[in-house]
Every structure is written in structure tokens, then in C-alpha cells.
Amino acid sequence: MLLDTIKYISTEAKVETVDNGISNTVTATTGVSLKKEISIPPIVKLVGYRTYREIEQPETMYLLRAEDGGKLALFEADGGEWQCVAQKRVSEYLYSELSEQIDSGKVVIMG
């Protein structure tokens, strides 16, 4: 969804000159334009690799902002919730994968 949104944003800078032999006119145009009328969602959900690839990565909400010049920025908007989810999933993974060693006392998982 995010890529579908931003693919329509383009920046342009062009200069047109007209010289009629007596005077010279220069028109400079810069700015951001949309190739299609779209609505940019304020919050987008993304799943990135933030922890071990063996576990399901937590989905994170981001605030999407567009600035002059066509620059886009993503700001984390979940208050760090992804970290709690990731810690829980890592813990579950370790307990699952190391259950024999935990039961025999060879491995102790703290936390």
C-alpha cells in the first residue's frame, strides 16, 4: 500500500527560455506534483526486520509525512510496542527450540 501511494509523487524542475531576438524570457518551475489524485494515509503499517529472522517480525505503525521537494519521512507511531511484541516472540521461540535443554537444566532463560 505504501509503495502504491508514493509511486504517484514526482518532483520536477524545469526551465523554459524564449528568445525572440530582442528580449529573453526565462520561466523556472519547481515543485512536487501528483501523477494521479491520491489520498496519503497518515498512518501506515510496515513489517521490517528488527530482530531475529527466525521469528515473525512485529508490525509497526508509522506516521507518513510528505515535505516540499518530494521528500517523504516515516516516524514510528506505536510508542515502542513493537519491542514488547518482539521480546515476547523471541522468548517463545527460545522456549520452543530449547525445551529439552531447559528441562534438563543445561539452559536457563532469564526474563
Tens digits of residue pLDDT in 77-94: 999 999 999 999 999 999
> Contact at 8 Å (CB) between 6 and 72?
yes
Of 74, 67, 70, 4, whose CA–CA distance to 46 is shortest?
74
Residue 105 backbone class (left: φ over 0; alpha: ψ -120 to 50; beta: rest):
left
CA angle, corner 36, sides to 63 and 71, nearest 5? 40
User: What is d(CA 101, CA 99) in angstroms, rounded to the nearest whole number?
Assistant: 6
So what's the pLDDT on residue 38? 61
pLDDT above 90 (res 55): yes
> Contact at 8 Å (CB) between 8 and 36?
yes
70: confidence class by pLDDT, cuts 50, 70, 90: low
> Contact at 8 Å (CB) between 29 and 13?
yes
pTM for this model (two decimals)? 0.60
24: confidence class by pLDDT, cuts 50, 70, 90: confident
